[in-house]
Structure 1
């Protein structure tokens, strides 16, 4: 495929990293860092809607996060529930559609019920899709997709892509990771094959809609070649 100069990102994904380090720098409990991280989610989702992004995918809880201390996992679940309860009305009225990728049904029944209720309520919305990765790991996603594709016939890039959790989203254009780490951490490995990537030293609780806007402006300067010259 020849080169293509893209002018507008449709789908952005973010690895939200740095809550713990943000709290440590301020001699605060990690739980406070996670709380401030939720505030950053709120800012960025509002910004994505105002910037008319078609899809925003956030890495909220990975399959590896179960290895964290039980208290921290419990705090994260409580924060997620509070976030949905407090912000669902705003998202629904603003036309945001909530989508979950990953095996969210592994969570406790009250979390599953809340998540499914939120998805059902926003299912008909046609604005920005907010895809939240919960109990998500890209290797697991690819394995599940391959199993489904094989049951239907030959496995090809097209048939496998059609079975991914993100099959109904636009192709991934830009993947951002905060906090200065430079790795994908088992996130959207298939989808990121030709995505542009941006790594920033900004810790997630400090990330704002302006940072997202700057990232989108940087994206417009990237020349996407897709393996061409």
Structure 2
């Protein structure tokens, strides 16, 4: 199960294609769907019990299941992404296997109120920056970030609510890299009805290659508190 969040959230994987969901990931997703389907008018805490199968009891994430941490992603962004999965505007591309999992799970939430409820519960988790997993040229990444990303996402990757640009600092670096890769290939954001995703789809074409994208993410990770 994965939430975007980011990002846009923005971004990316070092390899050219995502691996297929693992057996453990599939089992966790199936368990999550079953729990949500039986939740009825459950509280946010009850609804999150299904999410914890992949994202962890405290929203800490699980890279092995391709599930990012949720604790450093803003509530308005998480809500927007869940609604995007529910509507099918996100997770419908045939090459987005993990997005398809999230779409199936999000669609079991009965209504917008349930989305708000589970996001409010997630918002109660203690924020903790995700650990760095990537290495690269942070100086080069800083140059590209300042020129291309900072105007929307902020000089310190703190995000800008008015521009609907989520914070990036503290989000899992591997997840950011994966999502940028998806944006650059049109796996995410190519649907023009996804206004902010489409903006990132266009921005995904501005970085010259995957190594520069990784350097940008390494720099973003260096800004985490």
TM-score normalised per structure 1: 0.30
Give the structure with the larger strand fraction. 1
Larger RCO, structures 1/2 (Cα 8 Å, 6+ apart): 1
